[in-house]
């Protein structure tokens, strides 16, 4: 029996992946419908399944995935996924503050993580009206 595989259920998420070439853990972004490689970090997968961000692929579909040929990168090409279209100029999202961070740091993080179309001022006002615990619960991992 083959090991379980997982498909991304959210519009976008990042997952820890073990790089087979270097042995290092890297973080890779996936869009909805993406299939995680078998080298995905087991603890990260477990956490994301519990949140509903990943779904386990049924065994019948998993066998079809195993049978599909894998593309081989050409010499000089990276085996890493290409950048998402339209993200080259997008500002990088900040790292999540630690639990002990100040409320002001959580407010700044909430503003940076606001959905597209929400103004900075509106997001800041909403975040400032929340307690630090509410911010950490909503925007924390």
User: pLDDT of 94-130, one tens digit each?
Assistant: 788 887 888 888 888 888 888 888 888 988 999 899 9
On whether residue 84 sits in a domain, the answer given is: no
- Does pLDDT of 73 surpass 60? no
Rounded CA separation 76/93 (Å)? 30
On whether residue 95 sits in a domain, the answer given is: no
Rounded CA separation 80/133 (Å)? 37
* Res 125: pLDDT: 93
From residue 27, give the alpha-carbon distance in Å to each of 37, 49, 68, 80, 131.
Answer: 12, 17, 25, 11, 30
Tally of domains within the chain: 2
On whether residue 122 sits in a domain, the answer given is: yes
Range of the domain at 123: 103-139
- Does pLDDT of 22 surpass 70? yes
Residues 16 and 62 occupy one common structural domain: yes
pLDDT band with cut points at 50, 70 and 90 for residue 71: very low
On whether residue 60 sits in a domain, the answer given is: yes
Q: How many residues does the chain have?
A: 141
* Res 94: pLDDT: 74
Residues 11 and 57 occupy one common structural domain: yes
Of 48, 67, 86, the one marking the end of a domain is 67
pTM of the model: 0.44
């Amino acid at each position: 029996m083959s090991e379980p595989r997982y498909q991304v259920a959210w519009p976008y998420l990042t997952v820890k992946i073990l790089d087979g070439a270097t042995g290092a853990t890297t973080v890779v972004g996936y869009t909805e419908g993406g299939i995680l490689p078998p080298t995905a970090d087991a603890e990260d997968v477990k956490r994301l399944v519990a949140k509903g961000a990943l779904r386990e692929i049924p065994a019948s579909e998993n066998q079809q995935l195993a049978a599909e040929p894998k593309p081989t990168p050409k010499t000089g090409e990276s085996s890493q996924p290409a950048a998402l279209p339209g993200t080259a100029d997008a500002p990088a999202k900040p790292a999540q503050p630690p639990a002990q961070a100040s409320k002001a740091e959580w407010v700044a993080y909430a503003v940076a993580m606001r959905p597209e179309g929400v103004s900075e001022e509106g997001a800041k006002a909403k975040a400032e009206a929340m307690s630090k615990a509410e911010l950490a619960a909503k925007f924390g991992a």
